[in-house]
Amino acid sequence: MAETERENIPESTLEGLDTAARKGGHGGRPPVITADMLHTVLRRRAGGESVEQIQPDLIIPTGKRKGQNPSVASIHRALAEHAEREACPEAVEAAHADFAALKTRDVPAGPSTAPALT
């Protein structure tokens, strides 16, 4: 019986994530680098400062590390994600549209109903 329960854990997890997505939620931790912090980093980098010079002036506003400085790696990761979004804005828009469609759909996403090729 315990083995059956263990086999059902992935299904239950995916169902929970799907339900949360339909309600507008998402899994994972909140981002350490907020949009305001990213804007500050971008502005100061344009002025010639390095990430290491900017990092001590940034303060995490929420979460477990509230009041502390984000790591240099977190800042670099946020910059890389920003650069990726800027490079492919149409892909980002398509992803947002797909997510919005998922939120409005009442039926959970399941396997495709397309006929199988033989």
pLDDT digits (tens, 9 = 90+) for 60-86: 998 889 999 999 999 999 999 999 888
Residue 7 placed within a domain: no
Residue 57 placed within a domain: yes
Mean pLDDT of 5-34: 84
Domain holding 98, by residue range, is: 29-104
Mean pLDDT of 2-29: 84
Residue 118 placed within a domain: no
Count, residues in the chain: 118
In the chain, % of residues over pLDDT 70: 86
Mean pLDDT of 33-39: 94
Q: 33 with 74: CB under 8 angstroms?
A: yes
Residue 51 placed within a domain: yes
User: Structural domain tally of the chain?
Assistant: 1
pTM comes to: 0.57
Rounded distance, CA 55 to CA 102, Å? 37
What is the distance, to the nearest Å, from the Cα of residue 72 to the centroid of all Cα atoms in its chain? Answer: 19
Q: How confident is the model at residue 112 (pLDDT cuts 50, 70, 90)?
A: very low
Residue 110 placed within a domain: no
Residue 40 placed within a domain: yes
Q: Where are the alpha helices (DSSP H) in 71-110?
A: 72-87, 89-104
pLDDT value of position 85? 84
Residue 8 placed within a domain: no
Residue 113 has pLDDT above 60, yes or no: no
Residue 3 placed within a domain: no
Mean pLDDT of 87-99: 78
